[in-house]
A and B are shown apart, each in its own frame.
Chain A
Amino acid sequence: MNRIITTLILLFATSTAWAQAPYPSKVDLRFDHWYDYGEMTKALHELVEAYPNLLSIKSIGNSVGGLEIWLVTLNNPKTGNDRDKTAMFIDGNIHGNEIQAAETVLYSIWYLCKSYGKIERLTDLIDERAFYFVPMENPDGREVWFHQPATPHFLRGGIRPVDNDHDGLKDEDGPDDLDGDGHITSMWIQDELGRYKIDEEDPRFFSRVGQGDAPGGWSRLGEEGIDNDDDGRINEDGIGGYDPNRNWPADWQPEWIQYGATDYPFSLPETKAIGDFLLDHPNVAAAQSYHNAGGMILQGPSASYMRYPSADNRTHTEIANKGGEMLPFYEPMIAYKDLYTVHGGEDGFTYEGLGIISFTNELWTDKRMRANGNDPTEEERKLFRDNLQFEDVYVPYKEIDHPTYGKIMVGGTTKYSSRVTPPWMLEEGCHRNFAFTMFHADEMPLLSWGALDVTSIGNNLWKVTVEVANDKIIPSRTGMAARHHIGTPDILTCKTTSRNDVAASGTVRSLLSTSKLQRIKSENPNRIVVNNGISGKGSTMFQFIIDGKGDVVFTYVAEKGGSLTRTVSLKEQFVPKPIEHKRAISPQQ
């Protein structure tokens, strides 16, 4: 008996000693759960309270309905101020019905915090960069999905009253939950000429009769509701009628060209708040928005007539392709080509307006039902719905009395039946998307000094070559930023003393003697404006012809990519570019 107990105690002891993964968080959050506005607010604040050394939270504005738009900053102040670091902006749920976007953002904050100090790779990332998270861009729409009878598509927009049907009244006839089951489903009526029948094989549902067949006896009346304003139409003007993701300034087009755009860009407080924040944070070099559904990693352009600089297209594609590998069944796509034209969308603005490499991910695809990359067949869908979701995604039809139509059947699929990730598959989806954004974040520009060469070319005359390198995919100035002079260009300065002076400066292709200085003619050769920045996975060799002796100090300042300083003594020297492999095997000699 003692031996058994000892063994058990030993086993117990050893098992706790091996409890490395998963790393526990100080805040116990579940990711098989959807958080309404109140719960999400609470979760965010709990995280901030639990990780004050990494997180802070503020409201950047209020929605139309007065709810807060929360922004969480993740930064390690010990390695610098967030504004001094290159940062990534991650948001979601601009469409109120695309709810799992917020959980994905929440997951990202949660996972990063609990990994800090435990997973070296993420610890390095957090020390090096800053993150801004806005989990709920459209809290009003989200609350409608959670707490009002809703559908998978409702509420996409916001609650500002709009006269959708141009009858002089606003929001006067929306859907109604006639059977009180908390869902907006559909209405069916018995109709001798109806083209639908109760399906013989699966009498839980209606199905359409064949082309030449006799009528099935049923017709679909439409979405659950009554003619609230007695104009002969049902549900023609409910809450909503605009699309916050068409309210951004870049390529903004009016309503008749782009449905949902409202009167002018940033007319909505939700979008304006984010626009103002981003304008004020030029250190943001990567942006990610989450939507549902479809399993897509979307990059611009969003309109066929937009032309992006090809280098930026390549940057976007390279990162998106990696995402495609990390997210099975997600496809990298170009918005206007592979999806549809969008005028005034958020990622169009962050890239075209602010020069930030941006993606929109459409979370969840039905292909995940089968996990073989194919769209599920009818049979496969049935299996998923009945045996994996236990029929919990539809309401069986029941008869009610409709004020206009009389006896009708009401029922059908609910808001859980499509677009939203089934809760038991949510965490993996969150993790993979989060991991993609971490890859993107890691590939934001990170500038470093490359090689240094000082050669004497005469009496106290020096050719000083300083290389500025960027080993990441994203350049410090995107082609869009360079082309349109967005923000401040990179600046390289050589600070001289009374003992020395810069005669000329520019760039060189190489250190070979045949490579002549490509001089930038300027009154101030001490200062080079680098509008194109340092390209992705590349470097630029700047060369200064300096007269004199002693030391000079080089400073490279970039809005995105960091700032560098280096003191160089004017004496013959060559320092190669330091190559650093993190976590490489390096035996001590």
Chain B
Amino acid sequence: MISVYILASISIGLQEVDQNIEREWRTPEELRAHVTTQAGSFDEITISTIGHTQQGQPIQCLEIARESTIAIEDRSAILVVAGIDGNHLLGSEVAIELVAHLLAMDSEATRTLLETHKLFVIPQVNPDVAQHYFIPASAEIVKNNKPVDDDNDGFVDEDSPEDINGDGHITMMRVPDLEKATHIVDPETPRLNATPDALQGTSAEFVLYSEGIDNDNDGKYNEDAIGGVDINKNFMHGYQFHGDGAGVWQLSESESKALADFAFAHQEIAFILVYGQHDTLSKTFKDSGNDNAGAPKTLHKGDVKLYEKVSESFKKFTDVKNTTQPNWDGSFVAWAYAQYGVPAFSTPLWSRPDPSKKGDAAEETAYENGESESSDNGSGRDEGRRPGGMGSFDREAMIAEFDSDGDGELNADERVAFRESMQDRFGGNRPQGGGRSGGRPGGRRAQSNSDGNQTQPEKDSNLTPSGVGDISQETLDELYQAALNAGYPVSEEDMAEITPEQVEQYAKMSGVEIRRVQNNNRDEKPAAGDAAWLVYSDDQRKGEGFIDWTPFNHPQLGEVEIGGWVPYFKTVPTVDVVETRAKEQAEFLVDIANKLPNVHFGTPTVKQLGKTTWEVTISVINDGWFPSGTAMAKSNKRARPFVVRLNTDNSNIITGQKVQRIWSLDGGGSQQWFTWVVQAKPKSSMEATLYSEKFGSESVKITMQQNNGGEK
């Protein structure tokens, strides 16, 4: 079995983690068994159970620490949590595998993490939901099995989706029901669905349901599936009372409660990293104002820089592109940051990679799909047909060619022939069904321009839309003028029928700069995302991500088409990603560990003011990189302060508070100074203590005699 294989390779004493393991995604039970075995092999690993799921599965926690002069209980900790999102298998695997990498890394490099600090890993908070991946023909599930009447009809969980065409997946159904219709086939990409636009002359043709039958005969399809609550919506910050999947109240689920209770029981946690759907690391994470009660919705303004810097660090190790950010409300990472009060980050570790090579990808698609140069395939890709030298256009020759009556000019008929020839030569498609101009996202086409000229067109919202892609009317006017100036027989009718491809070609020929209107068409953004997923699926995953629409005779709905995204395709990558990420993340965590706050006393200074009167000064220094508390933690007073105490009777203190607090201390060597004037016998001593729930304690003995003290 796989777990045995891994155990064998480690116990043989290999320094490197075996990179060539045949991997598969492991069930929650297999993961737990593997973790238990790992813990048996390494002294550094201690496992415990932090709670149980609704179905009674234990939620494992690993504590990873190496014995050193610093007692393990006194160390601050990094917490890695994964698998809160029940569909996020990658995170759980990486969380577990990175431990092996960590322990196989060179001892010196990992010293700070393993000997000064410690690491908690909770690899799979939500195994109940994760195991759906392993159930054949399951939909992609994020909610647990708690009975919820999703459609408020008095029945609970009465209509779940089914794999009715037996293709092994639950996908979608396109149902031609004009009364209920909401979508049309996306004219750009027929595998996708689009919303119709009456002004484009399109109207809805079908309605989309998830695959299945109407189990409760209420005319609705799969409207009340089994379940449930999404654990990652069940936390306090931004909690949506009565929200979809939010649960009956905060921490109503045993999994979320177990995780919160763990955090509360371990106040030494100073940094949290979540592997899950949210992303605070691959893109700039911003503040977005306050909620009704006055709490920052996402980031506190004062933490934006900190998050940027950590994001930069992260990107040195792991490159994740094209993530989407789900709603922040009620998530664990949101709560960990805004209420628990520590730097908390999240990354999905993987999303759709960029295409391997832009032009190539497009061309490959064209050929693979059997598109020929001149066919109107409705996919809108004509890059393959772009002729070579576009260079300068020989006007004289062209006129000579079409001037059939030889009068040196082109009359109306001659111009028609000229126009058609131009279209054929320069790849202007005959108009596609359902809309030739305007609605087509010209911007996208520009990006697939293989000579790379206009991959990042500038968009200007002060320009006027022309209805030709996102090309501005101003540009068309310029082109027209340029054509006229150059003597091209271009008429206004030509301009009225011009296509974006023609504009690009003419612009090149004439030297006119194409200025595009800012594209505010919201329908296009999702299409672009999904269309890009299709490219990825076709190019890099042999098309296995999408099931082509296939007719099916539905017992209740008649002729429908079944197809769509394969469940988990967009969230669970190929399993080889685990190994890469595990190695990268182990290194990232070591990097973070070396940046954690290191708070300690400086050397105390004692100045004699009188026979038995002394001025005692001491500083508290943070020479880690992270501040001891985020700006958020300072606001929410959640971060317990450092407590500085001068242990002598209060009556001996002439000035200065006996007990003082530091709510937060910036990193980089920042110091905060404390001074007392005390009364004491010469050569007597008193103790100053520094106490922190999170960063441990320290005490220093101060002797009453003049010294020149420590750094100032």
List chain A positions with a Cβ less than 8 A from chain B.
Answer: 163, 166-168, 227, 230-232, 249-258, 263-266, 275, 279, 303, 305, 343, 352-353, 484-486, 488-489, 491, 522-524, 529, 531
Given contacts A232-B657, A254-B236, A485-B149, 10 further A-B contacts (CB under 8 A): A166-B661, A168-B643, A227-B650, A231-B657, A251-B241, A254-B295, A265-B236, A265-B251, A305-B292, A529-B153
Give the most central of B154, B219, B260: most A CB within 10 Å: B154
Segment of B167-175, B448-456, B510-518, B634-642 in the binding face: B634-642
Q: Would B658 and A303 count as touching, CB distance under 8 A? A: no
Residues of B in contact with A (beta carbons under 8 Å apart): 149, 152-154, 214, 217-219, 236, 239, 241-242, 248-251, 260, 264, 292-295, 339, 635-638, 640-641, 643, 645, 649-650, 653, 657-659, 661, 691, 693
- Contact, CB under 8 Å: A522 / B636: no
5 nearest CB pairs, A to B? A249-B249, A484-B242, A523-B219, A305-B292, A256-B636
Known: A257-B295, A485-B152. A166 touches B264 (CB 8 A): no
For residue A261, give the distance in angstroms from its CB to the closest CB of chain B: 10
Name the distance in Å between A237's Cβ and chain B's nearest Cβ.
Answer: 11
A249 touches B339 (CB 8 A): no
Q: Is the CB of B219 within 8 A of A266?
A: no
List the A side residues contacting B292 at CB < 8 Å.
303, 305
Task: Chain A residues near B241: list those with CB within 8 A.
Answer: 249-251, 352-353, 484
Contact B650 A232 (CB under 8 A): yes
| A524 to B217 Cα, complex, angstroms | 8
**How far is A358 from B635 in the complex, measured between Cα atoms in Å?**
34
Within 8 Å CB of A257, what residues of B?
Answer: 293-295
Q: Which of the listed residues A264, A303, A522 has the most CB atoms from chain B within 10 Å of its own CB?
A: A264
Provided the pairs A265-B236, A485-B242, A524-B217 are in contact, do residues A353 and B249 lie with their beta carbons within 8 angstroms?
yes
The reply to whether A168 and B236 form a contact with Cβ atoms under 8 Å apart is no
In Å, the complex CA distance between A495 and B405 comes to: 86
A474 to B233, CA, bound (A): 33
Decide: A343 and B293 in contact? CB cutoff 8 A: yes
Please determine whether A266 and B249 come into contact, CB atoms closer than 8 angstroms.
Answer: yes
Residues of A with C-beta under 8 A to B264: 263
Chain B residues with Cβ below 8 Å from A252 are 236, 239, 250
A489 touches B152 (CB 8 A): yes
By the criterion CB–CB under 8 Å, are A232 and B659 in contact?
yes
* Among candidates A253, A254, A352, residue contacting B638 with C-beta atoms closer than 8 Å: A254
In the complex, chain A residues whose CB is within 8 Å of the CB of B251: 264-266
Least Cβ distance of B595 to chain A in Å? 26
Residues of the B chain whose Cβ atoms lie less than 8 Å from the Cβ of A279:
248
Q: Which residue of B249, B339, B635, B658 has the most chain A CB atoms within 10 A of its CB atom?
A: B249
By beta carbon, the residue of chain B nearest A484 is: B242
Compute how far the CA of A250 lies from the CA of B249 in the bound complex, rounded to whole angstroms.
8
Is B154 within 8 A of A491, CB to CB?
yes
Q: Which residue from B219, B294, B645, B649 sits with its C-beta under 8 Å from A522?
A: B219
Could you say which of A166, A266, A523 has the most chain B C-beta atoms within 10 Å of its C-beta? A166
By the criterion CB–CB under 8 Å, are A255 and B638 in contact?
Answer: yes
A458 to chain B, nearest CB (A): 26
Q: Is the CB of B661 within 8 A of A265?
A: no
Query: Please, which residues of chain B bring their CB within 8 A of the CB of A227?
Result: 650
Tell me which residues across on chain B come within 8 A of A167, comparing CB atoms: 643, 645, 659, 661
Q: Are B637 and A255 in contact (CB under 8 A)?
A: yes
Contacts of B650 in A (CB 8 A): 227, 230-232
Residues of A within 8 A of B691 (CB): 168
A-B contacts, 10 listed (Cβ < 8 Å):
A166-B637, A168-B693, A230-B650, A231-B650, A232-B658, A256-B637, A256-B638, A257-B294, A305-B292, A524-B217
Inter-chain contacts of B640 with A (CB < 8 A) = 163, 166, 168
Q: How far is the CA of A252 from the CA of B240 in the complex (A)?
A: 11
Contact of A231 among B339, B638, B658 (CB under 8 A): B658
Contact A231–B659 (Cβ < 8 Å): yes
Which chain B residue has the least Cβ–Cβ distance from A487?
A: B149
Contact B260 A264, beta carbon cutoff 8 Å: yes
- Docked Cα-Cα span, A249 to B153, in Å, equals 25
Query: What residues on B are CB-neighbors of A168 within 8 Å?
Result: 640, 643, 691, 693
> Does B242 lie within 8 Å of A275, measured CB to CB?
no
Contact between chains at B236 and A166 (CB < 8 Å): no
Q: How far is the CA of A264 from the CA of B292 in the complex (A)?
A: 18
Complex CA gap A163/B264 in Å reads 14
Bound complex: CA of A166 vs CA of B663, how far in Å?
Answer: 10
Task: Tell me whether B657 and A529 are in contact (CB under 8 A).
Answer: no
Are A264 and B250 neighbours in the complex by a CB distance under 8 Å?
A: yes
A529 to B251, CA, bound (A): 30
Distance A484 CA – B149 CA, assembled complex (angstroms): 12
Q: Do B154 and A489 have beta carbons less than 8 Å apart?
A: yes
Q: Would you call A265 and B154 a contact (CB within 8 A)? A: no
Give the docked Cα–Cα distance between A489 and B154 (Å). Answer: 6
Pair A488/B638 contact, Cβ less than 8 Å: no
- CB nearest neighbor in B for A236: B659
Q: Give the one of A230, A258, A491 with max B CB within 10 A.
A: A230
B220, closest chain A residue (CB): A523
Pair A523/B217 contact, Cβ less than 8 Å: yes
Using CB atoms, name the residue of chain A closest to B640.
Answer: A166
